[in-house]
Amino acid sequence: MRGEEFVAEKKREVFEWLKALAVAVVIAVAVRGFLFTPVLVEGASMNTALEDRERVIVSKIGDIDRFDIVVFHRDEQQDYIKRVIGLPGDRIEYKEGTLYVNGVPVEESYLDEQKEKLHGDLTKSLTLEETAVGQATVPEGHLFVMGDNRRDSTDSRHIGAIPIEEIVGTAKVVFYPLTDIRLIGN
């Protein structure tokens, strides 16, 4: 091979590598932007389902169901992670530590570990009117969310119903620390 052919071959090889790298970057940006994103859990409001400093994968696709753990934009600088308790149109009430959705008592088995550790009700009796929501039902286009660590959580009781358009997605997998990798269930 002559020198000119060698240089041309090397240029083609570098160009092919750059194309492959560019495609990989585009795919990574698309996946992170439209499908999944990693999120750091900060604080104790979701104990014991999620612990402070754990990292989770959040899915940006699919419907949001009651009891899903969601990440939402609290403001331009801060995201929160909480559990969906009420969907649009729901009437939410707590009486003597029991959740009522539209007048029907609902079991919150994900709180069992919290209940074993603490004495008394995790959640004081309340109706939506007594919270920052300030009305009888969850407004259309909004969700009522609470942290699992009810005694140490800033949530819809304090900040009001969350607009659905502020939802980043639902937490699906804890991926760090590596010793605690697990699927996130309801």
Per-residue tokens: 63: 């419907």
Helical spans, DSSP H, in the chain: 3-30, 112-117, 156-159
* Catalytic, out of 10, 59, 60, 82: 82
Find the length of the chain.
Answer: 186
Distance CA 51, CA 182 (A): 12
Active-site choice (19, 45, 117, 153):
45
3-state secondary structure 139-178: CCCEEEEECCCHHHCCCHHHHCCEEHHHEEEEEEEEEECH
Asked about 45 being catalytic, the answer comes back as yes
Report how far residue 110's alpha carbon sits from residue 146's, in angstroms, rounded to the nearest whole number. 12
| CA dist., res. 47 & res. 44, Å (int) | 5
| Whether 59 is catalytic | no
- What does DSSP assign to residue 33? I
Which residues are known catalytic residues?
A: 45, 82
